[in-house]
Structure 1
Amino acid sequence: MSKARLLVASKTPAAQSALVAALEAAQYTLSSAGDVEQARAQIADSDLLLIDHDHLEADGLAFAAQLRTDASLKLPPLLHIAADLSGKAFHADDACLNASAQTPALLSMIAALLSARRAERLKDDFLSTVSHELRTPLNSILGWSDILMRQPRDADATQGLASIERNARLQAQMIADLLDASRMLAGRFEIELSPIDDLGFVIDGAIKSAAEAARPRQITITRQVEAGLPAVRGDSERLQQIVGNLLSNAIKFSAKGGSVGVDLRRDGDSLQISVSDSGRGIAADKLALLLSQARSGSGDKSRGGGLGLGLSIAVHLAELHRGSLAVHSDGIGKGARFTLRLPLAG
């Protein structure tokens, strides 16, 4: 089995580095980066990034933070090595080790981080395989239900076929949410940023997808889009996913015959998309915790339904777009409003 590829962030020449010497003796494949740009160029080919705080011109924590601002990067595990660890606020996902640690401790920590990374990859491969295997029969069910829905049939058959189709689509969405949640927790959620001149088009796509769930409950979806809005940078498919998740929640928690509204307007140096409903609302004691739970990935099935992942995914996607998601409710029985803010394209 070949050794892993380690990227060492350090300005110290390799020939003078005791750290590099120890890793070479352990037969790891090594490369080095003296600054963030060099690290960005090599990170995709690395299994682990070691940040040598004592031999960098830049602050090691700032070095890692700069890498994390680039949503397109798939960061490997990060290991910080410094002579003085006191007072340093490391990212929750990172590991750290005192520079005075003996070589066996260093190699043991590296082995543990690499083992966890391999386990994460195996889990992702497993989820991908399971997803494919589950989607294949679901696609067949959806295809045949669509064909049968086009044929003459009595009322009972119509109701039964509609139920089959609705539940098959629900299962397909759960599978997609599981895969997204796995990528999110592993830090490998990808978005492709490009200029979006018309966010109204994104909203229309989300409303069209949500209309099927709203129709049988006679829920009206209204749309208001301010004219002449500037562009934002974003991933239109993922932004539609955010709005779609918020619409899905709003529809689920609105009473039959209720209403859901989508509003797009400019607010200072950002655009905001608000999704509001006339449903059950959110109690004040739960309101404060809702988004923090979603941000941690714990979800809230009392608000999200299904696996409770939709809101967590929406929060994460908003942050990848350098935006934010906020929630407001006047209390139980008074509906709720979720607001997505996106910075204007610079």
Structure 2
Amino acid sequence: MDEPSRDVLQDAGPADEAPGSRTLLWVFLLLLCFGAAVGMGWLVLREIEDLGTANSDNAQWSLAQTEVEFLQFQLAIERAGEEEVSLDTLRRRFDVFYSRIGTFASASTYSAVRSSPEFIAANEEITDFLDAAVPVIDSPDAQLAAALPALSAEAQALLPQVRALSLAGLASFAESSDERREDVRRTLAQMVGVLGLLLGGFALLTNSFRRLYRVSRRQAQAMERAGDRMRAIVEAAADAILVCDRDGAILDMNTAGVRLFGYSREEGIGRRALETIYPADVAPALQEATRAFFQEDGRAGTTALHYETEAVSRSGRRFPAEVSIARTADETDPIYVAFIRDISRRKEAEEGLTEARDKALAGERAKAEFLAVMSHEMRTPLNGLMGTMQLMRDHSLSQRQSELLDRMHSSGRLLLGLVNDVLDLAKFEAGKLKAERRPFSVSALLDGVVETTATLASSNGNSLRWRPLTPGLDIVRGDSRRLRQVLLNLVGNAVKFTRAGSIDIEVERLPGEGGLVEFRVADTGIGIAEAQLERIFQDFETLDSSYSRQAGGTGLGLGIARRLVGVMGGEIGVESEPGEGSLFWVRLSLPPAEAEETPLPGQGGNATLPVRPLDVLLVEDNEMNRFVARGLLESEGHKVTEAVDGRAGVEWAESHPFDVILMDISMPVMDGQTAARKIRAGSGRSATTPIIALTAHALPEEVERFREAGMAHCLSKPIDRKVLSGLLRGIAAGYSGGSVTMAEPASGLIDRAQLGELSQTIRPADLERLLATFRAEMDEGVTRLTASDLPPAELGALAHKCAGSCATLGLTALRQLLGRVETAAKRGEVSEGDLAQLPELWAESRQALDAWQGEQALTE
């Protein structure tokens, strides 16, 4: 802050908090004193005027003349007796004296004299004399002449009283004059005091005015400097600034406004802002929005209106603008200040960034799609190879053939693991990797991890074991599949870099809230340098060590493990020293599962259970699906009873005690969810039998409803023989957990592994008949789906039926497309784009199916 501003603040301190109020008080007091002085002066003038008038002198002269007139009356009596004067002259002298005495009694001039005791006493005697003398004076001349001696004697006796009357009156007048002079003196003294106060007040007022003048001058200078600074700021601003009145007329504009809009300041002032700076098609809406904002939402002086719009210059150039409008707090005559910025470059930059972002996202999507497609395409033949090797185990093999098959299967699993790693990486980059929360057994999961990696560990001369550090830690809720993948990566990494050592897996529940569980994988391998601890979790990162060239690897395992742990909301880390081994740890929130959420044995790992024949109720409306499912079940030694719809399934469940019920979801007459509820709500012989939902396609929210309907598990079509066998083994062992699981869909036009497994299950003649029926049904179904205008409900039912058949026979792409059609129909929509792709995709799928069938015929 500059010096003038500080001076202003100092002058406006506590001593001068309200100079204006004190000045007004001083002015009021001075005016009061001035009024008092004027009043006193007027009184003094009155007194002086009274003293200067002749009334008092005349009265005193009259009093002084009283004795003279009485003496003249007395002399007239004596001379009338000597006949020197006439009796009329005597009477005239008597009347003059009488009149004089009467004047004393009635004239207001003598009111003060009449209150004097001496005057009263003398006046009474004189009045008595006069009253007694009146008859004598008014008598005839003879009587008057005879009474003159007596009258003369009485007059002679009255002379002292007349003299006393005159002296008393003069004394009274003298005293009154003295008092009036004293009053005038006192008034003059008071007047002098008031005038002194007035002069002092004028001096103080003058000093106050001088102080106010200094303060106001400093404030004016500070305001002038602030105004200069503000003008400099406004003129230097890159944004156009317009000052408008309440009617929208421009009062002022800065240099930036002149440059932006092309009007000189003289041309711009007075013009309406809306008509000057906004296009005609934009101005009305802005005017209404601005008025509504300040009338309803905005408070003057405390808020501003911000928006982006389009402005126009004098030359007609339209450009995007950012506008901010504020209003002063004066409600009677408000001023509006608008800041307008040309954001053309910013918009161009945003468009450039958006385009760059879109290109980057497109590149990322292309990369993710490429990885996903390649991974799926690679996994499809791998699944075929793995399935074929699994089918080969059903035949009699020599020991050498079994060993070769084991090596092939191990290599296939390794290659499939790499493909799955790349696919998981693509899923993570696409944001489609999400954690699950299902009950599983920790012990079963770790048993499976040890069983899977035991062969590889022993081949390197390592011992592998796991042990719990927290007693009773077993059934928890979490994502067992991804946790298993993480632990397999960590154990596999430990096995690769350890020779003739030990690998220990430990699990411990940590204290505190959140249900944290820590898994530790410790090895006695070569260890890792501290500088490399962060690198090992990066993608495609391999360390140059004595074992690295022998172990090989893509360097994706730990990077994917880190991502999977992050998806599950946990932490992963490592502690290691070169030559001392490594310890990898994973901390996850795995709260204990509820009692009713016990999972099936084998879901957490690869544990096997003894198989016993089960009595299975198969509820399925699709004949083809029933045929295939029956073949799978009977090949495992189970007894199968078929029901063609939900109502028939309920009737069978009420009358017969089944071990397990396989329930399709979408069926005529009664759907699977309704049938499951009726079975659970009834008291039939299978009311408590585990129910497994079968569906070709289901939304996530629908899967939750399956569980609410009483279905313990959910299998997606096509039914995976291994998964189905695991579930049936668990049910045979007496487990009926509450988890609902969906198999991961395959990819490609056809799933050759599934078709190969199907060809091993069904006789060639039955398979050929099944495929012919399928082709006929699909020809009709695709024609109905694409050629007729079906309502969403019927469209969804038909798409579901066709998708179920495609799932059973491994037509993966067509099944997925039909699933999208079904999903849209369930939501009351019609997926026109997907329907348009059906004929072409069905033709391609049919051609691929025919090619596979031809290959099968040649091998036979």
C-alpha separation in 2, matches of 1:18 and 1:326: 49
Whichever residue aligns with residue 321 of structure 1, its letter is M
**Paired residue for 2:570?**
323
C-alpha separation in 1, matches of 2:435 and 2:517: 19
The answer to whether the aligner puts 1:268 opposite 2:558 as a matched pair is no
**Paired residue for 2:251?**
none
Q: 1:107 to 1:236 in 2, by over 3 A?
A: same
**Paired residue for 2:348?**
104
**Paired residue for 1:210?**
453
Shift of 1:174: 1.0
Secondary structure of the corresponding residue to residue 322 of structure 1 = coil
Q: 1:336 to 1:312 in 2, by over 3 A?
A: same
Correspondent of 1:153 among 376, 385, 398:
398
Whichever residue aligns with residue 419 of structure 2, its letter is I
Which protein has the larger Cα radius of gyration, Structure 1 or Structure 2?
Answer: 2
Shift of 1:305: 4.0
Q: Which segments of 5 or more consecutive residues in structure 1 lack a partner in the other structure?
A: 1-14, 22-98
The alignment's TM-score, normalised by the length of structure 2, stands at: 0.26
Q: 1:20 to 1:202 in 2, by over 3 A?
A: farther
Q: 1:107 to 1:20 in 2, by over 3 A?
A: farther
**Paired residue for 1:246?**
490
Shift of 1:123: 2.2
C-alpha separation in 1, matches of 2:458 and 2:474: 33
Question: What does 1:168-317 align with in structure 2 at a 5 Å threshold?
Answer: 168-184=412-428, 186=429, 188-194=431-437, 196=439, 198-217=441-460, 219-225=462-468, 226-229=470-473, 234-256=478-500, 258-269=501-512, 270-282=516-528, 286-290=529-533, 292-300=534-542, 305-317=552-564
Which structure's residues are more often helix, by fraction?
A: 2
Q: 1:250 to 1:281 in 2, by over 3 A?
A: same
- Please list the CA deviations of residues 105-142 of structure 1 after superposition, one character each: whole Å capped at 9, or x if unmatched: 11110111112212222222222222222122222222
Shift of 1:215: 4.7
Shift of 1:233: 6.0
Secondary structure of the corresponding residue to residue 300 of structure 1 = coil
Does the aligned pair in 2 maintain the 1:195–1:233 contact within 8 Å? yes
Whichever residue aligns with residue 18 of structure 1, its letter is E
Secondary structure of the corresponding residue to residue 125 of structure 1 = helix
Does the aligned pair in 1 maintain the 2:456–2:495 contact within 8 Å? yes
Secondary structure of the corresponding residue to residue 553 of structure 2 = coil
Does the aligned pair in 2 maintain the 1:191–1:238 contact within 8 Å? no
Whichever residue aligns with residue 293 of structure 1, its letter is R
C-alpha separation in 1, matches of 2:458 and 2:542: 25
Shift of 1:311: 0.6
Shift of 1:330: 3.9
Shift of 1:242: 0.9
Does the aligned pair in 2 maintain the 1:249–1:305 contact within 8 Å? no
Whichever residue aligns with residue 161 of structure 1, its letter is L
Whichever residue aligns with residue 222 of structure 1, its letter is R
The answer to whether the aligner puts 1:125 opposite 2:372 as a matched pair is no
Whichever residue aligns with residue 325 of structure 1, its letter is I
C-alpha separation in 2, matches of 1:132 and 1:323: 28
Does the aligned pair in 1 maintain the 2:541–2:555 contact within 8 Å? yes
Whichever residue aligns with residue 278 of structure 1, its letter is T
C-alpha separation in 2, matches of 1:183 and 1:20: 43
Shift of 1:196: 4.9
Whichever residue aligns with residue 152 of structure 1, its letter is L
The higher relative CO (CA closer than 8 Å, separation ≥ 6) is in 1
Secondary structure of the corresponding residue to residue 183 of structure 1 = helix
C-alpha separation in 1, matches of 2:454 and 2:344: 61
Aligned Cα root-mean-square deviation (Å): 3.4
Secondary structure of the corresponding residue to residue 122 of structure 1 = helix
C-alpha separation in 1, matches of 2:576 and 2:481: 28
C-alpha separation in 1, matches of 2:535 and 2:459: 31
Whichever residue aligns with residue 153 of structure 1, its letter is S
Does the aligned pair in 2 maintain the 1:272–1:340 contact within 8 Å? yes
Shift of 1:344: 5.9
Shift of 1:103: 0.8
- Please list the CA deviations of residues 160-218 of structure 1 after superposition, one character each: whole Å capped at 9, or x if unmatched: 3333222221111111111222333x262522242657533433332233234335445
Does the aligned pair in 2 maintain the 1:329–1:337 contact within 8 Å? yes
C-alpha separation in 2, matches of 1:239 and 1:154: 35
C-alpha separation in 2, matches of 1:19 and 1:274: 60
Whichever residue aligns with residue 151 of structure 1, its letter is S
**Paired residue for 2:308?**
18
Q: 1:193 to 1:162 in 2, by over 3 A?
A: closer
Does the aligned pair in 2 maintain the 1:253–1:280 contact within 8 Å? yes
Whichever residue aligns with residue 567 of structure 2, its letter is L
C-alpha separation in 2, matches of 1:298 and 1:134: 19
Secondary structure of the corresponding residue to residue 397 of structure 2 = coil
- Please list the CA deviations of residues 241-261 of structure 1 after superposition, one character each: whole Å capped at 9, or x if unmatched: 1111111111222225x4321
Q: 1:130 to 1:230 in 2, by over 3 A?
A: closer
C-alpha separation in 1, matches of 2:457 and 2:483: 20
Give percent identity, aligned residues only: 29
C-alpha separation in 1, matches of 2:413 and 2:388: 13
C-alpha separation in 2, matches of 1:326 and 1:287: 12
Shift of 1:232: 6.7
**Paired residue for 1:337?**
583
Does the aligned pair in 2 maintain the 1:232–1:343 contact within 8 Å? no
Secondary structure of the corresponding residue to residue 522 of structure 2 = strand
Shift of 1:159: 4.1
Q: 1:109 to 1:196 in 2, by over 3 A?
A: same
C-alpha separation in 2, matches of 1:266 and 1:280: 29
C-alpha separation in 2, matches of 1:209 and 1:192: 23
Q: 1:133 to 1:198 in 2, by over 3 A?
A: closer
Does the aligned pair in 2 maintain the 1:214–1:220 contact within 8 Å? yes
C-alpha separation in 2, matches of 1:119 and 1:325: 30
The alignment's TM-score, normalised by the length of structure 1, stands at: 0.61
C-alpha separation in 2, matches of 1:288 and 1:129: 36
**Paired residue for 1:48?**
none
Q: 1:133 to 1:223 in 2, by over 3 A?
A: same
